[in-house]
Amino acid sequence: MPLDLEEQEQLDQLKAFWQKYRNLITGVLTVVLFAYAAYSGYGWWRNNQALEASKLYETMVSAIAKGDKEQTLRAADDLQKDFARTPYAAMSSLIAARIASDAGDSAKALDYLRWAAKNASNDGYLALAKLRLVAQLIEQGSEKDFAEADLVLKESPITGFEALWLERRGDWYLAQKKNADAKKSYEDAWKKLDQAKEFPEEARRLLKVKLDAVGGVTK
């Protein structure tokens, strides 16, 4: 059936439009398709990574149960190396830091904590790593350790952990016998903690002990 004049005109306009913009249209479609493929592939990769990481984490847990320190730390190292973007890597690093510290290897413990404090993908693990790193550095007690701890504490607190950040700053002052500054930080932490009802009672009791040690809450 032959086209009438109006249909022919529309067809000619469409052909002209396609001739003018076909490269742009093809390019946009290609980008969209690649983006979708990349997203789908990333979703598969992420799920696969989490599955493989969980298996390695289970291996680590089994090694802990058997008291196999070497295998435990090796699993933590492998999780850091191969599955750094999964929560399992940060979790295992925190556990490995505790094991290394209990074994008297503070340098190794600090390495695990520094890694988690830099690479943890979960805010909770990130905050815990930084707070424990500061505590370990304070325990070390050298001028260099205090300086590193100070740098960590000067970072913005992870949301929800402001009270513990202030408490750790108080520990930092107290370790250097700056009792007045320690008391101020503990008092600020107490006010924050008093507003955060979700914190366990043990955290309040521990902070209260520290406050009492420097003279209690100022009325």
Taking only the tens place, the pLDDT of each residue in 87-98 is 888 989 999 999
> Could you tell me the two tokens for 22?
């076909």
> Could you tell me the two tokens for 153?
């504490």
Q: What is the pTM of this model?
A: 0.74
Q: Which helix (H) or strand (E) holds 167?
A: helix 162-175
Are 106 and 181 part of one and the same domain? no
How high is the pLDDT of residue 41?
A: 46
Of 141, 174, 194, at which residue does a domain stop? 141
- CATH of residue 60: 1.25.40.10
* Lowest-confidence region among 37-46, 125-134, 162-171: 37-46
Domain membership flag for residue 165: yes
Of 141, 164, 184, at which residue does a domain stop? 141
How high is the pLDDT of residue 200?
A: 72
- Please say if the pLDDT value at position 86 is more than 80: yes
- The residue with tokens 């701890």 is 149
- Please say if the pLDDT value at position 217 is more than 60: yes
CA trace torsion 94, 121, 111, 166 (10° rounding): -80
- Rounded CA separation 26/24 (Å): 5
Taking only the tens place, the pLDDT of each residue in 193-216 is 877 666 677 788 888 888 888 887
Domain membership flag for residue 4: no
Are 88 and 117 part of one and the same domain? yes
Are 168 and 136 part of one and the same domain? no
Domain membership flag for residue 19: no
> Could you tell me the two tokens for 100?
């290394």
Mean pLDDT of 33-56: 60
Domain membership flag for residue 8: no
Domain count, the chain: 2
Are 167 and 100 part of one and the same domain? no
Are 93 and 171 part of one and the same domain? no
How high is the pLDDT of residue 44?
A: 43
Are 178 and 219 part of one and the same domain? yes
Domain membership flag for residue 64: yes
Of 101, 117, 141, at which residue does a domain stop? 141
Q: Burial level of 34, CB count in 10 A (0-12/13-18/19+)?
A: exposed
Mean pLDDT of 76-102: 89
Are 54 and 130 part of one and the same domain? yes
How high is the pLDDT of residue 110?
A: 96
pLDDT band at 27 (very low <50, low <70, confident <90, very high): low
Are 117 and 166 part of one and the same domain? no
Are 133 and 88 part of one and the same domain? yes
- CATH of residue 216: 1.20.58
Residue-range definition of the domain harbouring residue 161: 156-219
How high is the pLDDT of residue 6?
A: 55
Are 162 and 129 part of one and the same domain? no
Mean pLDDT, rounded, of the chain: 81
How high is the pLDDT of residue 130?
A: 95
